A and B are shown apart, each in its own frame.
Chain A
Amino acid sequence: MTKKQNFLKGIFSENPVFVLILGMCPVLGVTSTLFGALGMGVAFTLVLVLSNIIVSMIKNFIPNEVRIPSFIVVIATLVTIVQLTMQAYLPDLYNQLGIFIPLIVVNCVILGRAEAFASKNNILDSTIDGLGMGIGYTIAIAMLAFIRELFGAGTLTLFMYGDVNIKFNLIPNNAFEPISILILAPGAFITLGLLLGVINAIKFNIENKKSVGRS
């Protein structure tokens, strides 16, 4: 596998959200605003890349029997660092993400990459793998948040820190009523279900075209 393929697999063929359907709790929980989703994506990518680097560095010193608990300690340490940093410098984001920041520890994607990839490959490949997976995850939750916030509230929040508030109001003068169920809890499930269905439909379409072209 070339480095480029290794990077792109996390975004397309092995996208953690759309293809592997792993780590769903934050996907549903933080996507009511675009800002929350992007923040979660960055925090997730940071933890994933760093944990992949550290795990691939220490893989030769760890006895096989205790590798999972050791990986969990590494991940939990990184998550705590990210959590405290975010609490200090981005309190608005921290309050919005709430419980889902410490829960990055039990996100199956991170432990899964540590176990399936980083513990068998060198540092460079593990970094690229972590970056690809992290960016794939961020794109997926940003897509979901974009749909939910745009149609559910009519706004797109890009950044929020104290007085700085970058927010686009996309419905001029209340031209139509936003579908507010989309930013409530049920909207998360329904939007993700529809999005997965559309992606499947596109995938089947491409496969059909390929098989027609071949025959």
Chain B
Amino acid sequence: MSTSDLIKLGIEAILIQNVILTQFLGICPFMGVSKKSQSAIGMGLAVIFVMVISSGVTFVINDLILQPNKITYLQTIVFILVISGVVQFVEMFIKKTAPFIYKTLGIYLPLITTNCAILGIALINVQPEKEFGYAEMFVYTIGISIGFTLVIYIFSTIRERLENANVPKAFKGTPIALITAGIMSIIFLGFAGLV
């Protein structure tokens, strides 16, 4: 794949195939950790970090161990174990080497194991019809995780304002947040013709 194709793939991953608004992955952190923009950024950065590392590791395992031995049906089990191991390892590693990063990301890391976007993207990367090589995989994963951070940050700034808005009692909290996400999703549909 040429460089311009890779750039196209990256833009597609950020805007057109946005992980939250069009693929519906990672909805739990999207609704749960978006009440303050500070925590949304923390969650977004943690997702970028973990998603790139865990997708890389699972891709290599799939390429070198599962595929040659024809045991790709074990993907789900192997990937979820690898991801929870990677999350634990990343947590211990940055606690030791970069306490500053740990302070901002630390509390979000354990939450990430059950973030379906991480397992979802790891599984999408190895789908045979995608035909991803290492370069495409990295560009796609980075694009998807940037898209996640972008959307969760925009959404959190809207929600901060929604706190003070005069919303009917029954719609306070999650219902109005979901409708807001729906309107954001309409906006992101508009990017469909971009690439």
Contacts and interface: CB of A to CB of B under 8 A. Distances in A.
Nearest to B186: A186
Contact of B74 (A80, A193, A198): A80
A106 B171 contact: no
A27 B177 CA distance: 16
Given A24-B31, A69-B84, A80-B74, A102 B123 contact: yes
Interface string B147-180: 0000000000000000000001111001111110
Chain B interface bracket (under 10, 10 to 19, 20 to 34, 35 or more): 35 or more
Nearest to B32: A21
Interface stretch (A70-78, A121-129, A132-140, A150-158): A70-78
A154 B82 CA distance: 44
A197 B75 contact: no
Q: Which of A25, A27, A184, A194 has the most B CB atoms < 10 Å from its CB?
A: A25
A204 interface: yes
A29 B84 contact: no
Contacts, number: 119
B189 A184 contact: yes
Given A29-B24, A198-B170, A105 B178 contact: no
Interface string B1-43: 0000000000000000000011111111001000000000000
B115 interface: yes
Contacts of A188: 24, 182
B173 to A, nearest CB: 9
A76 B80 contact: yes
A69 B176 CA distance: 36
Interface in A39-97: 69, 72-73, 76-77, 79-80, 83-84
Contacts of A8: none
A44 B94 CA distance: 36
Nearest to A101: B76
B77 A80 contact: yes
Interface string A180-215: 010011111110111011101100100000000000
Interface in A122-174: none
B104 interface: no
A181 B81 contact: no
A193 B76 contact: no
A115 to B, nearest CB: 11
28 contacts: A23-B28, A24-B27, A24-B31, A25-B26, A29-B25, A69-B81, A79-B76, A84-B73, A99-B25, A99-B123, A102-B75, A103-B123, A108-B114, A111-B114, A186-B21, A186-B182, A187-B182, A189-B178, A189-B179, A190-B183, A192-B178, A193-B179, A193-B182, A196-B175, A197-B175, A197-B176, A200-B175, A204-B170
Interface of B: 21-28, 31, 73-77, 80-81, 84, 113-116, 119-120, 123-124, 168-171, 174-179, 181-183, 185-186, 189
